[in-house]
Amino acid sequence: MLGLGGLTMRLGIMVRNMGPASTPALIAACARYAEQAGLDDIWVCDHIAIPREESEGSGGRYLDPLATLAFLSGVTQRIGLGITVLILPYRPALPTAKWIATTQELSGHRLRLGVGVGWMAAEFRALGINRSNRGALTDQTLDFFHRCFAEDEIESNGQRFLFNPRPPLPPILVGGSGSHCLARVVRFGDGWMPTSSEPDKLAGPIATLGAAMKAAGKTPPQVVPVASLPLNEYTASAARLAALAAIGVTGFVQAGAYATLDEFKANVDALAALA
């Protein structure tokens, strides 16, 4: 947790659940090291059907994010476990809700659920899903999640059933940009996950979102950008985080590639030094 003049910011880092770095031994070692170093969260990403022409750097190898976090929950004790972001139109709502509830329960309520509508046309084609319906499917799934986590017994497709385990619903952070994204945060979420770390670009949307959340009677939004700080430049990175905190950013996820545990450790150490 980073303290900035009375403000606090959660610091997290991406663990690569894709490509050659996504072996069980390496992702487990990375998660344990990030926890040992005092970071607040580790994050994984989501792709499900990468075409060859989009596979550079990953070879098309992507571990399922929810399965990965369930695995990492067993090798860590404290650190938050996040997805940036789970593409909701790719998945049926009920089995996904069960995955989320189970991972949340088994991890001791450490899950942080970034969600998004998706963008890669090839993945929608592989799944047989109309890409133009992705916004509506996302909203329907988020509405279903809220119902599942609100009552033990719910109804789906005319059938009532017990939804257990029913731990607390993880914080929902909506990825994306634009008015539709911010409206989705207000309606279904707890915060926003932009992919920029530029204060000038984020200040306006954060102010708009904060006002909308207040008008809706909701708590101030969490704002957690996913971007890359120049970790080899301590002063510049610290100044950027301070500027982000000043406009209402509450967390930061450091993205970036690495090939070995030593490279990951160096990134973690530089990020932890900012705290």
According to the model, what pLDDT value does residue 2 have? Answer: 66
According to the model, what pLDDT value does residue 3 have? Answer: 66
- Read off the pLDDT band of 8 (50, 70, 90): confident
Q: Given a cut of 60, is residue 5 above it in pLDDT?
A: no
Question: Crossing angle, helix 178-188 and helix 134-150, to 10 degrees?
Answer: 10
241: left (phi over 0), alpha (psi -120 to 50) or beta: alpha
Tell me which residue of 220, 231, 226 sits closest to 251, measured CA to CA.
226
Tell me which residue of 165, 162, 174, 187 sits closest to 101, measured CA to CA.
165
For residues 131-136, average pLDDT: 97
According to the model, what pLDDT value does residue 129 have? Answer: 97
Q: Given a cut of 60, is residue 223 above it in pLDDT?
A: yes
For residues 151-157, average pLDDT: 95
pLDDT tens digits, one per residue of 90-119: 999 999 999 999 999 999 999 999 999 999
pLDDT tens digits, one per residue of 47-99: 999 999 999 999 999 999 999 999 999 999 999 999 999 999 999 999 999 99
Across 79-178, the runs of DSSP E, i.e. the strands, are 80-87, 111-116, 153-156, 159-162, 172-175
Tell me what the pLDDT averaged over the chain comes to.
96
**Cβ contact 149:165 at 8 Å:** no
pLDDT tens digits, one per residue of 196-215: 999 999 999 999 999 999 99
* 3-class SS of residue 40: coil
Question: Crossing angle, helix 234-246 and helix 261-273, to 10 degrees?
Answer: 60
Domain covering 2-273: architecture: Alpha-Beta Barrel (3.20)
- Read off the pLDDT band of 170 (50, 70, 90): very high
pLDDT tens digits, one per residue of 12-25: 999 999 999 999 99
According to the model, what pLDDT value does residue 121 have? Answer: 96
- Read off the pLDDT band of 141 (50, 70, 90): very high
According to the model, what pLDDT value does residue 274 have? Answer: 93
Q: Given a cut of 90, is residue 36 above it in pLDDT?
A: yes
Percent of the chain with pLDDT over 70: 98
pTM recorded for the entire structure = 0.95
According to the model, what pLDDT value does residue 22 have? Answer: 98
According to the model, what pLDDT value does residue 4 have? Answer: 59
According to the model, what pLDDT value does residue 6 have? Answer: 57
Residue 88's alpha-carbon distances to 123, 144, 192, 193, in angstroms, are: 12, 11, 16, 15
